[in-house]
Amino acid sequence: MAAKWIEALTGSLEQKKQYKQNVARIESLPAPYANSGKALQRYFMYQGGITDSDTLCTMLSDLADLLEAAAADNTPIRDIVGDDPVEFAEEFTQAYGGQRWIDKERARLTKSIDEAADETKKE
């Protein structure tokens, strides 16, 4: 019963566990892959703004899969991310869709402007 109460406040404990497992997978890679993975993960958190935990866990799991395969094949990092790591990171996050914090703000802005326009009409 306590777990349901805690999850109501903090979100799914299972998703937090999956998130930590994916982070641990990335951190356990050889240095160039782990460093790149941590940098990409950090960028995803800032740029991606994903608010859906399922989407975030899937995205990080796929990143870990990609980097683990690259490490196993000894694939150079540049062969993965290309010449522009920012472009790679942004395309990677866009592929996952999901609800982003900016989507909520866009809806809030649109609603506020619509309400203000309606009030202007009444005057």
- One-letter amino acid for residue 33 of the chain: Y
Per-residue pLDDT, 52: 73
Tell me, yes or no, if the pTM score tops 0.75: no
* Structural domains of the chain in order of their starting residue, each with its CATH number: 2-122 (1.10.1900.10)
Strand partners, 100: 50
Residue 27, CA distances (Å) to 80, 83, 94 in order: 18, 23, 24
pLDDT tens readout for residues 6-37: 655 555 678 889 999 999 999 999 999 999 99
Helix orientation angle between 85-94 and 31-43, rounded to the nearest 10 degrees: 60
Q: How far is it, in rounded angstroms, from Cα 113 to Cα 92?
A: 32
Contact 93, 50 (CB under 8 A): yes
Contact 22, 62 (CB under 8 A): no
